[in-house]
Amino acid sequence: MGPQHPSTHGVLRLLLQTDGEVVEKAQPHLGYLHRCAEKISEHLSYTQFTPYTDRMDYLASLNENWAWCRAVEKLCDLEVPPRAEYIRVIVGELNRIASHLIALGTHGLDTGAFTPFLLAFREREEIMTIFEAVCGARLTYNYIRVGGALWDLLPGHIDLILRFVDQFDAKLDALNDLLTNNHIFVRRTANVGVITREQAIEYGFTGPNLRASGVDWDLRRDQPYSVYPELEFSIPVGKGEKGTVGDSWDRYWIRVEEMRQSNRMVRQAIEQLPPGPHCGAVPRVLKAPKGREVYVSTENPRGELAFYIVSEGKTIPYRVKTRAPAFVSLCVIEDLWTNIFVADLVAAMGSLDIVMGQVDR
């Protein structure tokens, strides 16, 4: 199945061994989107590598920028101004909503529902309009920079964001009406692709896929960074409302609830947005201290995205390693999802929200 199959969410190939419609074994074949990003990072300066992170998770590019910049800032002892931190939260949570909208829309397609896909992209288009106004791009933004952000948020940008925030909850309700309690969608996802709490922890799951299995863990709250401690939000956890805890429906529902919380955070961040510079002082030639290494995790829409950087005191890193949550999510396919129908494998895999750019990197 693949690498061009429309249900694979990217150039992923699954080698299936089947007995009729029953999958006896499924083996993921990776590497079709490999671009040697980690090796490239070892030949570019710390700031030059930022645009490459956009291409890792091209549906949540701002969150990728943010994770890399946080790691570099810790490595080089750089301070980020308060206004820049709020800007990062605003655009990062908007990007989380945009990413989850695609996850929901494509998951609906995987189970035969076409209309939710159109509605999800309609709402995502509003966010793309905001990002285009803020930084001039609609997919790979390169907006969050080491030390802060490329441009400040202007009053016109804030008006666009507030207009979206005011309308989004009602539009999310309309999207819910088409999928959440839809009898066909529930039958296709409840009790399908179950990942237990123990299995999720054993396989190293993070993010929505971990929380859907009943594990209450979120870096924004449990290892707080930026200005998240100043914001009020809750962490949705899977409860098995339609079937078993950790099934495909739970993974869908967690992303729906996360969008509500992200919308709530964006509003609070705008209300608290302080005056000041949008970027801190960053040396034109940035060198990290020799012999230093850092490991920094950030809550990406797909889980904990981490960068491990080793410095030799030069303008380029000695070694960079990326911890990609989408790569971890693929590991369960071969071990756990056997003796299920081909159609159920497609529905379960769609619930993982995999982006192959982050897997292959």
pLDDT single digits (tens) 112-169: 888 989 999 999 999 999 999 999 999 999 999 999 999 999 999 999 999 999 999 9
Confidence of residue 83 (pLDDT cuts 50, 70, 90): very high
pLDDT of 296 strictly over 90: yes
CA atoms of 285 and 115, how far apart (whole Å):
50
pLDDT of residue 280: 93
Q: Is 324 helix (H, G, I), strand (E, B) or coil?
A: coil
Among the four given CATH numbers 3.90.1300.10, 1.10.645.10, 2.60.40.60, 3.40.718.10, the one describing domain 13-360:
1.10.645.10
**Token pair of 288, please?**
């990290």
Residue with the bigger pLDDT between 60 and 32: it is 60
Q: Which of 322, 307, 306, 312 is nearest to 288 (CA)?
A: 312
CA atoms of 131 and 140, how far apart (whole Å):
10
Sign of CA dihedral 67, 72, 77, 79: negative
Q: Is 111 helix (H, G, I), strand (E, B) or coil?
A: coil
> Which whole number is the average pLDDT over 61-79?
95
Sign of CA dihedral 111, 114, 115, 117: positive
Q: What are phi and psi of 182, to 5 degrees?
A: -65, 125
Confidence of residue 5 (pLDDT cuts 50, 70, 90): low
What's the DSSP call for residue 288? Answer: P
pLDDT of residue 12: 85
Residues 7-54: tens digit of each pLDDT: 567 788 889 999 999 999 988 888 888 888 989 999 999 999 999 999
